[in-house]
Amino acid sequence: MSQKHMHPGVFDLKSQLDTGKISRREFIRYAALLGVSVTAASQMAGLTWPGRAFAGSVKRGGSVKVSAPIERVTHPSQISWIAPSNQIRQVAEYLTYTDADNVTHPYLLKNWEASDDLLTWTLNLRQGVLFNNGDEFTSDDVVFTMNQWLDKDVGSSMLGLMKSYLDPTDIEKVGKYQVKLHLKRAEIAIPEHLFHYPALVMNSRTFEGDFIKQPHGTGPFTVEMFREGERCVLKARKDYWKKGVDGKSLPYLDSVQFINLGTELAPQIAALQSGDVDSMDMSDLPGPQAFKALKDNPEVKVMGIPTNSARVLRMRVDVKPWDDNRVRQAIKLCQHREKILGLAYYGEGLIGQDVHVSPMHPEYCEIDTPKYDPERARQLLKEAGYPDGLEVDLNVGSGWNEIVRYAEILKEDAKPAGLTVNIKTMPNSQYWEKWTEVGLGVTVWAHRPLGTMVLNLAYIADDEGKPVPWNETNWSDKEFGELLEQANGTLDIEKRRQIFCKLEKIQQDRGSIGIPFWINQWMICRKRVENLNAHPTMYMYFDDVWLKS
């Protein structure tokens, strides 16, 4: 992007950087969001962006085997969890890429520009990119894919993310390589939304509803074999648009094989230790157990990374007794956070403060951590009309071990407050069937790079006052909604953080959730695998992975 087209917000950011109001990392993250290339932003911040490898160090050829659940994928936009996307992502790609430091880069986009009011976003496409069937990647594919996301019949989670600011009619094809989005409200997180796991770009000419039948993407690999529940074999293509450090087309590997070894951790660890597989898809596996089991193994690399993913104690505010904020506060006060993090997740994470904004989110405003206080909880229950205590059912998926442990600790620590917690266990799949319906439950929330993303997904009502689809607690607050909308369109980081201070205070004081901790995640592979890096989203990328000789 040339200097004359630079968003005015970038200059404000630079001045905030110069006066020490924001860190270099925050400057790069926000400048990148406004369309400045990371290299340019790094230079403006006085940093040089490190290269990832030297030509002499990489080696071409070889195959990597990964243990992973092989689930049937038909429509990429319908992917509802990370594991299937880890296979399809090697074949189809996103428009953007958010790195492990939460900095978003252009990917299939060459760059983007946002209008001063953040209402118009111009997406400039990378030229010369080919789908693996030879078709050229153009704006038709972007418009087609976005229409799939916004089609109610497709049922993509992208719809929940985008529908508050984007309708199909708001997408304008300007030219062969340019698309404009005319938003209904200001939104700064567009580039990050384009990196959501179902946001894979499809070929508008060939896609007919089943990606495995027409596996035409722009990614570095093609589908050689896909057998549900068994194996997915991907072969390298020769004309991929990204170049390696040796100047030739990526990928370095000849093939990647995903092998279904079931859902149990033990056989997958045994397979990794024996070298039968080189890595494991960790998105469905209990990370801390794998970390503990493999951290001292000299043949294995265990790379940890803090995330914005949490196990959320959520209360339906339209269901008794959770309609009374005093009861909600009471159960939150029964969380002994250090103990919960220590025992439920072996201390591998950060303490939470009952607000769905993590200390890793750029907008995070420091807020006090509530102390474990059963006496105060008992008092609150008394005030709420439960002088003799209260008995409640806590619904949890029995497959999430850390959640069951969290529930058991909460049950024990809530006893002194007069709160009897009956743990109702069920298979995870059954929990997902009623995750928005249960009165009290613990839900897994995945990593999202910006605080606004998750707050917009789960804690607001739509224009008609109805909770948005993923608002599992049916909680909405007029002041909270207005402040969040303000935050969505506020670029100045200090001002944004000030708004978040208020948002966090509201959610902590009268919100519908408890978050005792934020989890770490891990990427685990054998030492011969190079450049397979941990990412807080648990996304796996094999385009620039190589094998040590």
Q: Could you list the residues that contact another protein (CB under 8 A)? A: 265-266, 269, 286, 289, 292-293, 336, 339, 342-343, 391, 398-399, 401, 404-405, 407-409, 411-412, 420, 422-427, 430
Closest distance of CB 439 from another protein, Å: 14
Give the nearer residue to another protein in terms of CB position, either 150 or 394.
Answer: 394
Residue 226, helix vs strand vs coil: strand
Closest alpha carbon to 439 in 331, 341, 310: 331
Give the nearer residue to another protein in terms of CB position, either 79 or 269.
Answer: 269
Give the nearer residue to another protein in terms of CB position, either 341 or 458.
Answer: 341
Residue 41, helix vs strand vs coil: helix
Closest distance of CB 412 from another protein, Å: 5
What's the CA gap between 121 and 212, in Å, rounded? 32
Non-local (6+) Cβ contacts of 89 within 8 A are 197, 200, 219, 539, 540, 541
Closest distance of CB 289 from another protein, Å: 5
How many Cβ atoms sit within 10 Å of the Cβ of residue 181? Answer: 21
Q: End-to-end CA distance of the chain, in Å?
A: 40
Question: Can you read off the two tokens belonging to residue 302?
Answer: 């265990």
How many Cβ atoms sit within 10 Å of the Cβ of residue 227? Answer: 12
Alpha helix positions (H), 295-361: 325-333, 337-344
Give the nearer residue to another protein in terms of CB position, either 199 or 313.
Answer: 313
What's the CA gap between 109 and 543, in Å, rounded? 17
Give the nearer residue to another protein in terms of CB position, either 352 or 467.
Answer: 352
Closest alpha carbon to 540 in 519, 522, 513: 522
Closest distance of CB 33 from another protein, Å: 40
Give the nearer residue to another protein in terms of CB position, either 288 or 449.
Answer: 288
Closest distance of CB 247 from another protein, Å: 44
How many Cβ atoms sit within 10 Å of the Cβ of residue 346? Answer: 16
Sign of the torsion angle spanned by Cα atoms 279, 285, 291, 292: negative
Give the nearer residue to another protein in terms of CB position, either 160 or 286.
Answer: 286
Question: Can you read off the two tokens belonging to residue 386?
Answer: 């439960």
Question: What's the chain's length in residues?
Answer: 549
Give the nearer residue to another protein in terms of CB position, either 411 or 528.
Answer: 411
What's the CA gap between 104 and 34, in Å, rounded? 10
Pairing of β 279-280 and β 255-259: unpaired
Give the nearer residue to another protein in terms of CB position, either 346 or 470.
Answer: 346
* DSSP letter (8 states) at residue 542: -
Closest alpha carbon to 453 in 164, 180, 171, 34: 164
Closest distance of CB 422 from another protein, Å: 6
What's the CA gap between 104 and 28, in Å, rounded? 9
Closest distance of CB 277 from another protein, Å: 16
Question: Can you read off the two tokens belonging to residue 252?
Answer: 């370095």
Give the nearer residue to another protein in terms of CB position, either 325 or 425.
Answer: 425
Closest distance of CB 274 from another protein, Å: 14
Q: Give the burial class of 209: count Cβ atoms within 10 A of its Cβ; 0-12 exposed, 13-18 middle, 19 or more buried.
A: exposed
Closest distance of CB 63 from another protein, Å: 27
Residue 125, helix vs strand vs coil: strand
CB of 94 closer than 8 Å to CB of 194? yes
Closest distance of CB 290 from another protein, Å: 9
Give the nearer residue to another protein in terms of CB position, either 265 or 450.
Answer: 265
Closest distance of CB 178 from another protein, Å: 52
Closest distance of CB 424 from another protein, Å: 6
Give the nearer residue to another protein in terms of CB position, either 296 or 368.
Answer: 296
What's the CA gap between 253 and 63, in Å, rounded? 6
Give the nearer residue to another protein in terms of CB position, either 213 or 415.
Answer: 415
Closest distance of CB 339 from another protein, Å: 5
CB of 169 closer than 8 Å to CB of 163? no
Sign of the torsion angle spanned by Cα atoms 53, 59, 60, 62: negative
CB of 327 closer than 8 Å to CB of 386? yes
Tell me the C-alpha to C-alpha distance, in Å, between residue 83 and each of 207, 281, 288, 378. 22, 7, 18, 43
- Amino acid identity of residue 398, one-letter, is S
